[in-house]
Structure 1
Amino acid sequence: MGYSVAVAGASGYAGGELLRLLAGHPEFDIRTVTGHSSAGRPLIESQPHLRSLAGLTLQETVPDVLDGHDVVFFALPHGASGALTDELRNVRLAVDCGADHRLADPSDWAAFYGGEHHEAWTYGVPELLVARGADPGGADPRPAEGVGAGDLPGKQREALVGASRIAAPGCNASTVALSLAPGIAAGVIEAGDLVSVLAVGPSGAGRAAKTHLLGAELMGTANPYAVGGGHRHIPEIRQALRGAGARGEPTISFTPVLVPMSRGILATSTARIAAGIDPARVREAWERAYADEPFVHLLPEGVFPRTADALGANTCLMGLAVDEAAGRVVVVAALDNLAKGTAGAAIQSANIALGLPEATGLPVDGVAP
């Protein structure tokens, strides 16, 4: 029945979301799930909401268990998947939802993560704009000589067709990159002085017990973290915006804030409107970029999304305003960090790589209230 699938890190939040979506996918047959300290235990103990998968038992996360499947999804902390993926010999498609294969520049990895740098895989954000003349096959598609920000862009999905190794995005990084890439690609905003402030749910930090993620520490408060340029998704955002055709090195002030919602991201990103650009025409860049996209939706003028509107769905919802007095564009984007931000992007990219309809098994309807 379809493609045999293994999910490594199935006991965590990202692994659980992968399994939730994969369970409804008509072409994927979940054969194997693995965990770390939970190996040998029934999956249902870690993921009690996944009743349809109650018969599965968590196995050890080792190459011998994962090899031989058609598709393997990795939902492991950074630094954990690279050594495993190096040992795969008989896997048609591997998709890493961790950070190990996202960054093309070893110096970025050293500065923000540390440890061994593994090769960059094809970046799994299909809707991301890529400047024509760039090589979209890698995780860092830079524009070729003479290709400017105003050239008609392509999409990263072109690079995903037939891919055998895919790096799913960081949830914060893809939210910000999708928010700003249309303006960069069209040349209507400047790549310097980008600012993003994000309200994020703590599930993005994983399931491991940490004091600052306890309910008693989160309820009734908002907590900024990684302030002042220290967040690990910053080089991934810059990498994506370079690929979209940024003139000069993108600079971004990126501030995430933990808020008391279990899942979701609301990213407010602003950028200077480029010199000589009529502010009335700025919105057109985003309309052109996402007019035909099934999962990235620009809302009507004056309408802005809530995180609740994307809960459980593989959608990124955007509202856009032009602040003429400040000479800036403001983009507010909402998505579910576990769905479109991670697991949904991974499955969407896998569909493309395998030649399946891109939307197979992926919901656009959220859950409310």
Structure 2
Amino acid sequence: MTYSVAVSGASGYAGGEVLRLLSAHPHVSIGAVTAHSNAGTTLGTLQPHLHRLRDRQVEKTTVANLRGHDVVFLALPHGASAEIVAGLDSDTVVIDAGADFRLRDARVWQEFYGSPHAGTWPYGLPELPGFRDLLKNERRIAVPGCFPTGALLALAPGFAAGLLEPDDVVVVSASGTSGAGRAAKQHLLGAETMGGMTPYGVGGGHRHTPEIEQGLSAVAGEPVTLSFTPTLAPMARGILTTATARVKPGVTAERLRRTWSETYGTEEFVTVLPEGQWPGTKSVLGSNHVALQLAFDAHTGRVVVCAVVDNLTKGTAGGAVQCMNLVLGLPESTGLLHAGVAP
């Protein structure tokens, strides 16, 4: 069966990545391709790497242009999705790559985003313990943010098994510049980013902080508090996350490794590497894959987990296509790449 799919925000990095993956999907027919200020141009002008779609006309992002498709992907700025969704049929599968429907707490949304809360949709990270079955019959799914994807998968096994203390969790992530979007910004110019790294959103101010806390709290069954610091790395795409948490008394290094390995042992897109091998961002470039490694720091009583994702693939568009496959009853790996690009 072939499904008609529309993609909004086609001029941005996330929308372009969704289209890259869908162009090779065997059960998809790409319908409307929309944007806002770039409407009226050809897709090849905006996304020259999408060779098969280069002559497609980019339409304006309106309900009328998106209506009538089996699946709609939204890759819009924060706060723009709710109005579009309200005009779509209830049986249309809508996958939102933005943040609008990720958070459950309206007060927290208001604090971090400064706009009215649009509501909450099921959270589209199937590898989180217990989440896959919740997604299968849904028609609206909120795709996780790129930082939360790596951070949640890094620590979820330990919290789901009750091995980790819920306070004093620390996550530091280094991200490529594409994570900040495609709009021109001075601090993202090549001359500003090459040869150095900078932190941002320090002191609990990054918008992904409550999203990571929400996900870890859900699998832990109790509130988890988090210190999250993102950094900007001189690369186009990829995230390296280092996540640490205190282990509960009596938990051994062997039990930690067994728990992570058993949790992800049957997952297609998450790999716990052999002992002694540490993940690098280049190993997942262009793939819908997460590679991670863990160690027990006996001196501090903490587990240390390093995880890598491609922020545009598994961190955004690949996760979105994976969720679409799940909802449509297709194998989750349909149209998605297992292998990264090397060198």
Shift of 1:245: 2.0
Counterpart of 1:199?
174
Shift of 1:52: 0.7
Shift of 1:90: 6.0
Q: Does 1:161 align with 2:132?
A: no
Distance 2:287 2:166 in 1: 30
- Residue pairs, 1:191-340, within 5 angstroms: 191-247=166-222, 249-340=223-314
In structure 2, what residue type is equivalent to 1:171?
Answer: C
Distance 1:50 1:76 in 2: 20
CA contact (8 A) 1:67 1:91 kept: no
CA contact (8 A) 2:239 2:310 kept: yes
In structure 1, what residue type is equivalent to 2:185?
Answer: K
CA contact (8 A) 1:194 1:269 kept: yes
Distance 2:15 2:5 in 1: 13
CA contact (8 A) 1:32 1:56 kept: no
Where 2:220 maps in the other structure, the secondary structure is coil
Distance 1:357 1:281 in 2: 31
Counterpart of 2:67?
67
Report the aligned-residue RMSD. Answer: 1.0
Shift of 1:89: 2.4
In structure 2, what residue type is equivalent to 1:106?
Answer: A
In structure 2, what residue type is equivalent to 1:189?
Answer: L
Distance 1:12 1:191 in 2: 37
In structure 2, what residue type is equivalent to 1:27?
Answer: H
Shift of 1:55: 2.5
User: Could you state the TM-score of these two structures normalised by the residue count of structure 2?
Assistant: 0.98
Shift of 1:57: 0.8
Residue 328 to residue 336, structure 1, CA distance change in 2 (3 Å): same
Distance 1:90 1:283 in 2: 43
Where 2:337 maps in the other structure, the secondary structure is coil
In structure 2, what residue type is equivalent to 1:179?
Answer: A
Counterpart of 2:7?
7
In structure 2, what residue type is equivalent to 1:45?
Answer: T
Count of equivalent residues: 343
Counterpart of 2:156?
181
In structure 1, what residue type is equivalent to 2:41?
Answer: R
- Residue pairs, 1:91-170, within 5 angstroms: 92-129=92-129, 155-170=130-145
Superposed structure 1 runs of 4+ greater than 3 Å apart = none
Shift of 1:288: 1.3
Distance 2:155 2:254 in 1: 17
User: Could you state the TM-score of these two structures normalised by the residue count of structure 1?
Assistant: 0.91
Distance 2:98 2:203 in 1: 23
In structure 1, what residue type is equivalent to 2:264?
Answer: Y
Distance 1:357 1:346 in 2: 14
Q: Does 1:79 align with 2:71?
A: no
CA contact (8 A) 1:191 1:246 kept: no
Which of the residues 156, 160, 171 maps onto 2:146?
A: 171
Percent identity of paired positions between Structure 1 and Structure 2:
54
CA contact (8 A) 1:302 1:321 kept: no
* CA deviation map 1:301-323 (0-9, x unaligned): 11110000000000000011111
Where 1:122 maps in the other structure, the secondary structure is coil
Shift of 1:16: 0.5
CA contact (8 A) 2:253 2:295 kept: no
In structure 2, what residue type is equivalent to 1:339?
Answer: T
Distance 2:317 2:295 in 1: 29
Residue 90 to residue 181, structure 1, CA distance change in 2 (3 Å): closer
Distance 2:333 2:225 in 1: 33
Distance 1:279 1:189 in 2: 12
- Residue pairs, 1:22-61, within 5 angstroms: 22-61=22-61
Where 2:134 maps in the other structure, the secondary structure is helix
In structure 2, what residue type is equivalent to 1:342?
Answer: T
Consecutive unaligned residues in structure 1, runs of 5 or more: 130-154
Residue 314 to residue 362, structure 1, CA distance change in 2 (3 Å): same
Distance 1:223 1:109 in 2: 26
Distance 1:280 1:90 in 2: 48
Distance 1:2 1:279 in 2: 48
CA contact (8 A) 1:295 1:364 kept: yes
